[in-house]
């Protein structure tokens, strides 16, 4: 089972020992996790140190190491230079992909995200029809900006009328930052493992964003974090404490409908990235996008 390793206590040392990631404080071992079970390592703490051999081993396994700021948003991500066996061919196909294919891919991603948002609102007992209707208005490349229209309706109903999405805020935004960081790390790993380059996005194109494609592909999965954070805040407030982190990291194991069965989020991200790479190579779009979970699953997130 994939696990997110979160380092939030100051002055811990991370090293590799016989197939394990070992966490130490001074000469004392605090704990260890099998390397083959790790999906990502997220570091929030001051004074964290690690061995070069551990970082090399994590890179070999395609495991991202995410360094976060005090607002729990990522400041740096360490990723491997080598990825999929067909990386060269797939990267060329990604770089040379035709604009209409890229725009159609973004259209499908946006439709999937809006579908998730509508299902999330419905599961929370909120009015969802105005968001659901916007699915029909998504055009190639989302030229009509249906995503933003959906967001304007969605956020006040999901998080409250006074809510404003602000990455620097210390309220429930900090919980959202953490949840999205977990999701972003899992998506970045899936992108690199699929032989794609995370910098070359479908829609996000900020020159300073080294993970534009990961940010694109994680969009449909964001409402899972939103529902979880809403429940956490209602129950325990907006503190990014150990319980909240554990709850949010477990989201990557949540089963989503995909194809003819159920697939964990971490695996669904991998299938989506692979399907995009194959679409680039074939010149025809065939994305593996998930459907929303049932209302009970949505409502139970964070509970």
Distance CA 151, CA 143 (A): 15
The CATH number of whichever domain residue 98 belongs to comes to 1.20.120.920
Determine the pLDDT at residue 244: 93
**pTM of the predicted protein model:** 0.85
Same-domain check for residues 19 and 99: no
Examine the domain organization and report whether 166 and 287 are in the same domain: yes
CA distance linking residue 131 with residue 141, whole number of Å: 18
152-195 tens-digit pLDDT: 999 999 999 999 888 888 889 999 999 999 999 899 888 888 88
Q: What does the pLDDT look like over 27-36, one tens digit per residue?
A: 899 999 999 9
158 and 43 inside one domain = no
Residues in the chain with pLDDT values less than 70? 1, 81-87, 205-208
Overall number of domains in the chain = 2
CA atoms within 13 A on the CB side of 140: 8
215 alpha carbon, distance to own chain's centre: 7
Q: Cβ atoms within 10 A of the Cβ of 94, count?
A: 21
- Residue 253: inside a domain, yes or no? yes
Domain that holds residue 262: 87-300
Do you know the residue count of the chain?
303
């Amino acid at each position: 089972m994939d696990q997110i390793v979160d380092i939030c206590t100051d002055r811990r040392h991370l090293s590799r020992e016989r197939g394990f990631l070992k966490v130490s404080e001074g000469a004392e071992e605090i704990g260890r996790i099998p390397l083959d079970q790790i999906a990502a390592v997220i570091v929030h703490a001051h004074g964290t140190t690690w061995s070069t051999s551990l970082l090399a081993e994590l890179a070999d396994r395609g495991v991202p190491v995410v360094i976060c700021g005090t607002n729990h948003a990522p400041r740096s991500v360490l990723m491997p230079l080598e990825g999929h066996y067909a990386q060269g061919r797939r990267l060329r196909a990604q770089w040379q992909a035709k604009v209409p294919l890229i725009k159609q891919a973004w259209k499908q991603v946006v439709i999937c995200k809006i579908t998730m948002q509508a299902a999330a609102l419905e599961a929370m007992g909120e009015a969802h029809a105005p968001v659901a209707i916007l699915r029909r208005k998504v055009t190639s490349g989302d030229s009509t900006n249906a995503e933003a229209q959906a967001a304007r309706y969605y956020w006040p109903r999901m998080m409250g009328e006074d809510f404003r999405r602000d990455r620097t805020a210390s309220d429930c935004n900090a919980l959202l930052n953490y949840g999205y960081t977990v999701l972003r790390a899992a998506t970045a790993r899936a992108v690199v493992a699929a032989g794609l380059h995370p910098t070359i996005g479908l829609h996000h194109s900020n020159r300073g964003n080294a993970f534009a494609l990961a940010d694109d592909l994680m969009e449909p999965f964001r409402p899972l974090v939103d529902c979880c954070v809403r429940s956490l805040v209602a129950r325990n407030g907006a503190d990014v404490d150990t319980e909240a982190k554990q709850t949010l990291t477990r989201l990557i194991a949540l089963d989503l409908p995909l194809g003819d069965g159920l697939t964990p989020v971490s695996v669904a991200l991998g299938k989506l990235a692979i399907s995009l790479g194959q679409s680039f190579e074939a010149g025809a779009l065939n994305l593996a996008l998930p459907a929303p979970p049932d209302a009970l699953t949505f409502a139970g997130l964070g509970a």
